[in-house]
A and B are shown apart, each in its own frame.
Chain A
Amino acid sequence: MTENEDVTEIRRAVRALCEEFPGEYWRAKDRARDYPAEFVDALTKAGFLAALIPEEFGGSGLKLDAAAVIMEEIQASGCNGGAAHAQMYIMNTLLRYGSDAQKAEYLPRIASGELRLQAFGVSEPASGTDTLSLRTVAVRDGDDYIVNGQKIWTSRAEHSDLMLLLARTTPPEEAASKTEGLSIFLVDMREARDAGGMSIKPIRTMMNHSTTEVFFDAMRIPASSLIGEEGKGFRYILSGMNAERILIAAECVGDAKWFIEKAAAYAKDRTVFARPIGQNQGVQFPIARCYAQMRAAELMVHHAAAAYDQGGNAGEEANMAKLLASEASWAAADMCVQTFGGFGFAEEYDVERKFREARLYTVAPISTNLILSYLAEHVLGLPRSY
Chain B
Amino acid sequence: MKILVPVKRVIDYNVKPRVKADGSGVDLANVKMSMNPFDEIAVEEAIRIKEAGKADEIIAVSVGPAKAQETLRTALAMGADRAILVETDDTVEPLAVAKILKAIADEEQPGLIMLGKQAIDDDSNQTGQMLAALMGRPQGTFANTVEIDGGSVIVKREIDGGLETVKLTMPAIVTTDLRLNEPRYASLPNIMKAKKKQLDVKSPADFGVDTAPRLTTTNVSEPPVRQAGEKVADVDAMVAKLKALGIA
Contacts and interface: CB of A to CB of B under 8 A. Distances in A.
Interface of A: 5-6, 8-10, 12-13, 16-17, 45-48, 50-51, 60-62
Contacts of B18: none
Nearest to A265: B16
Contacts of B34: 12
A9 B195 CA distance: 10
B74 A46 contact: no
A13 B189 contact: no
Interface centre among A5, A12, A48, A51 (most CB of B within 10 A): A12
A9 B185 contact: no
Interface centre among B69, B186, B191 (most CB of A within 10 A): B191
Contacts of B194: 9
Chain B interface SS verdict (over half) = helix
B191 A13 contact: yes
6 contacts: A5-B69, A10-B191, A12-B186, A13-B77, A45-B187, A47-B187
Nearest to B77: A9
Given A6-B195, A9-B194, A46 B73 contact: no
Given A8-B70, A12-B34, A48 B188 contact: yes
Contact of B189 (A12, A17, A47): A47
Given A9-B77, A60-B192, A46 B70 contact: no
Nearest to A18: B185
Contacts of B189: 47, 60
Chain A interface SS verdict (over half) = helix
A310 to B, nearest CB: 21
Contact of B73 (A5, A60, A62): A5
A48 B189 CA distance: 8
Contacts of A12: 34, 74, 186
A9 B186 contact: yes
A10 B188 CA distance: 7
Given A5-B73, A5-B195, A48-B188, 8 more contacts: A8-B70, A12-B34, A12-B74, A12-B186, A13-B187, A60-B191, A62-B188, A62-B192
A267 to B, nearest CB: 15
A17 B184 CA distance: 9
Contacts of B74: 9, 12
A6 to B, nearest CB: 7
A46 B190 CA distance: 9
Contacts of B191: 6, 9-10, 13, 60
Contacts of A9: 70, 73-74, 77, 186, 191, 194
Nearest to A8: B70
B188 A51 contact: yes
Contacts of B190: 47
B144 to A, nearest CB: 22
Contacts of A6: 191-192, 195
A17 B188 contact: no
Going nearest first, the 5 A-B pairs with the smallest beta carbon separation are: A16-B185, A47-B188, A46-B187, A13-B186, A47-B189
Contacts of B70: 5, 8-9
A48 B77 CA distance: 14
Contacts of B185: 13, 16-17, 46
A185 to B, nearest CB: 29
B78 to A, nearest CB: 9
A16 B43 CA distance: 15
A51 B191 CA distance: 11
Contacts of A50: 188
B125 to A, nearest CB: 25
Contacts of A51: 188
Contacts of B188: 10, 13, 46-48, 50-51, 60, 62
B193 to A, nearest CB: 10
A184 B205 CA distance: 64
Contacts of A10: 188, 191
Contacts of A62: 188, 192
